[in-house]
Structure 1
Amino acid sequence: MGQRIEPDRVALIVEDDFEVRGLAAALLEETDLAVVETASAEEAMDYLRQHAAEVAFLFADVRLPSLMDGLDLVRTVRHEWPWVRTVLTSGGPLNDRRGEVPRDVRIMPKPWRALDVLMEAEKAAQSSRHH
C-alpha cells in the first residue's frame, strides 16, 4: 500500500453556519489543500497565530458571531500574512463597508458557485508552491 502524502498547505474556512461550512469543506477537500474549519474570526486567528506559514487560502464569511467579523479578519490577514489568498463571502450587500475590503481580496456573493471556489483554491495551491 502506498503512503498518502499529507498536504502541507491549508485552506482555512471561517463560517458560522454549520451546513455552509460543511459544504465548503467538502468542496475544498477535492483540492490539494488540507481543510481546517473554524466558526469564528477569533478561532481563525488562534489557528493562524500558530500555523500561518501553512495557510494558503482563507475562505471567510463577512457575518460572524463575535466581536471580530469576516471583514476585520481578512484585513488583519492581508496585513499580517500577505501570502494568504483570501476570499470573502457575503449573503447580503457590503454597501458602506465595501471600501474597507482590501484590493486583493475577492468578494464572492452567496450562494457561491462551487467552480468559483475551486478556482480560487487552485490558484492558492499553485502560488503556495512557490511561496
Structure 2
Amino acid sequence: MRKMTHAAPLALVVDDDQATRAEAETLLGETDLDVITCASGEAAVEVLQRCGDDVVMLLSTATLKGEVGGHQLATAAGRLRPGIRVVVSTGTPETCRKRVPVQTVCTRRPWLPLDILAQAHAALREPQENPA
C-alpha cells in the first residue's frame, strides 16, 4: 500500500454546478475527509492521476459536460484508484447502474445529505471490493 500524502483521506466532488459542489464540500467537510472539487470530468481525472492514492471517495453527477462524462469518470476512477467508493448522482439511478462498474453507487439527484454522509463513512471504514 502506498503512503498517504495528505493529512486526511480525500473526497473528490465533481459537478459542473458550482452551488452543488459547494454544498457537497460543506457537507463532506463535516466528516474526516478533506475535499477537492472539480467542475469537469477531465479535471477530476487529473486529480486522480496526481493524488489518487489519497482519494477514497468520488461524488459526481452523471451529466457532466465535456469529453469525460459522469459514467466515464466512474469507470476511470475505478481503474485509476481500485477500491475507491464512487457515488454517481442521477435522475435515473436504474439506467445509471447499467452504464457504470458494478461497485458504483448510483443515487438519485438531487442527492440527500444523509445518503452522501453514509457513503463517506463507508469510504472511510473500508475500500470497496473490486469484483474478480
Aligned amino acid, residue 40 of structure 2: S
Aligned length: 122
Equivalent residues of 2:48, 2:80 under 8 A apart: no
- Name the residue aligned to 1:30: 30
Gaps of 5+ in 2: 1-5, 128-132
Give the structure 2 partner of residue 43 of structure 1: 43
Distance 2:71 2:60 in 1: 8
Q: Shift of the alpha carbon at 1:97?
A: 5.5
* Worse overlay, 23-32 or 100-109: 100-109
Displacement of 1:93 in angstroms is: 2.2
Cα distance in 2, alignment partners of residues 50 and 9 from structure 1? 14
1:53 aligns with 53
Paired residues of 1:7 and 1:32 also in contact (CA < 8 A): no
- Asked if 2 retains the 8 angstrom alpha-carbon contact of 1:16 and 1:65, the reply is yes
TM-score, normalization: structure 2?
Answer: 0.85
TM-score, normalization by structure 1: 0.86
CA distance in 2, matches of 1:65, 1:28: 23
Moved more, 74-83 or 36-45: 74-83
Deviation (angstroms), 1:53: 0.4
**For 1:98 and 1:108, how far apart are their aligned partners in 2?**
10
* CA distance in structure 1 between the aligned counterparts of 2:56 and 2:16, rounded to whole angstroms: 21
Residue of structure 1 equivalent to 2:119 = 120
The alignment yields a C-alpha RMSD, in angstroms, of 1.6
Q: Is the 8 A contact 1:41 1:64 kept in 2?
A: yes
* 2:122 partner amino acid: K
Q: Distance in 2 between matches of 1:94 and 1:116?
A: 14
> Structure 1 pair 97/125, CA: closer, same or farther in 2 (3 Å)?
closer
- CA distance, structure 1, for counterparts of residue 117 and residue 93 of structure 2: 23
State the one-letter code of the partner of 1:57: M
